[in-house]
Amino acid sequence: MRWRTGDREEEKQVSPIYPWDHMHRAAKETEEQPHKLLPLYETPTRRNNQSVRVNKSFSYQEIQRIKEDLRDYLEDPEKYIRDFKGVTLLYDFTWKDVMYILGQMLTPKSKTRVLGKAAAYGDEWLGNESVGKRKNEISALPTGNQAVPTIEPDWDYNTAKGRWDQSHFLRCILEGLRQAHSKPLNYGKLADIESEEKEAPGKFLDRLREGLHRFTEIDPESEEGKVILRDRFLTQSAPDSSCKLLKRAYGPNQSLDTLLQPAQTVYYGREYEEKKERQKKKKKTKEKAEAFAMAMKNVLEQPEKNA
């Protein structure tokens, strides 16, 4: 079985050095062209119990599942990459399927960047694999542009060579997704992380660490990361904890452990006061119930005395 690119003419070879314009044009073209997801499936033949890989269209449920799995790349790139890898292991995607998914789930700018980074990784891989090899062996290996083509390649997915090309293409795309992902410092997202009602200070600090890791490139364990965490812990803790910390003139120059101690004191003190208040209310309720019972008893006994 031979896979063809159709009747369209092959585009001329592009420069191997980061073909951004070409990548952008290719990304736009694949978004505009209608395409159904047609992954490959093993189908048995009558010849020697062999099987071939043929296209089979997705069901509506499968398409919806992929859309559910692959959320916003820019919102949570690490999760997107994990889920994308999982989907490619679950389904046998062709080049066209992968390009279609990227076009649907990524912005044109992000897709262009991913394809460029993937091709650059392909060149880097070629350089590493070329070490110690003969010239004829090196010439058999694909360049970055050949590994990540921008027009549909003539890969035969029923041959070992075609399967290798498909696998190498996916390897480059995954690396492109990783390298294209950059997280700007997003104070807005960090500012949204506030201490919840009845949340322990330690758990709140863990959520701040997770947010710093998710929304920025800053390591929470670095000095810069610790300064940001201390500042956010001071200003976004529960009001009573924040007031106590500021009243003691604690600032971002203190260690996180130093800030955590009074916050925990306030938290557990708050729990103690709430417990006392609950016990007080319970006692009052009990006293009222006893007083009511006594009053009812007196009312019931009064007619008997009169009699």
Reply yes or no on whether the pLDDT at 146 is more than 90.
yes
Reply yes or no on whether the pLDDT at 4 is more than 60.
no
* 21-77 tens-digit pLDDT: 433 444 444 444 444 445 555 665 556 666 666 666 666 677 777 777 777 787 788
Reply yes or no on whether the pLDDT at 271 is more than 60.
no
Adjacent-strand bridge partners of 41: 54
Spell out a b/e string for 21-42, using b for 16 or more CB atoms within 10 Å of the CB, else e: ebbbebbeebbeeeeebbbbee
Distance set, CA 51 to CA 101, 163, 221 (Å)? 27, 14, 53
Reply yes or no on whether the pLDDT at 5 is more than 50.
no
Q: Which CATH superfamily is domain 187-302 in?
A: Retrovirus capsid C-terminal domain (1.10.1200.30)
CA-CA-CA-CA torsion sign (90, 92, 95, 96): negative
Name, in order, each residue with C-beta under 8 angstroms of 173's C-beta and a sequence gap of 6 or more.
98, 102, 114, 118, 148
Q: Report the CATH architecture of 20-180.
A: Orthogonal Bundle (1.10)
Report the length, in residues, of the chain. 307
CA 297 to chain centroid, in Å, comes to 67
- The predicted structure's pLDDT at residue 167: 93
Rounded distance between C-alpha atoms, residue 60 and residue 28, angstroms: 25
- What are the residue boundaries of the structural domains of the chain, listed by start? 20-180, 187-302
- The predicted structure's pLDDT at residue 121: 94
* 202-256 tens-digit pLDDT: 899 999 999 888 787 788 888 888 888 988 888 888 776 666 665 564 556 678 8
Where residue 153 falls among pLDDT bands split at 50, 70, 90? very high
Rounded distance between C-alpha atoms, residue 27 and residue 147, angstroms: 16
Most confident of 129-133, 239-243, 278-282: 129-133
Which SS3 state, helix, strand or coil, does residue 40 take? strand
Amino acid letter, 137: E
Where residue 1 falls among pLDDT bands split at 50, 70, 90? very low
Reply yes or no on whether the pLDDT at 142 is more than 90.
yes
- Structure token pair of residue 202: 């330690």
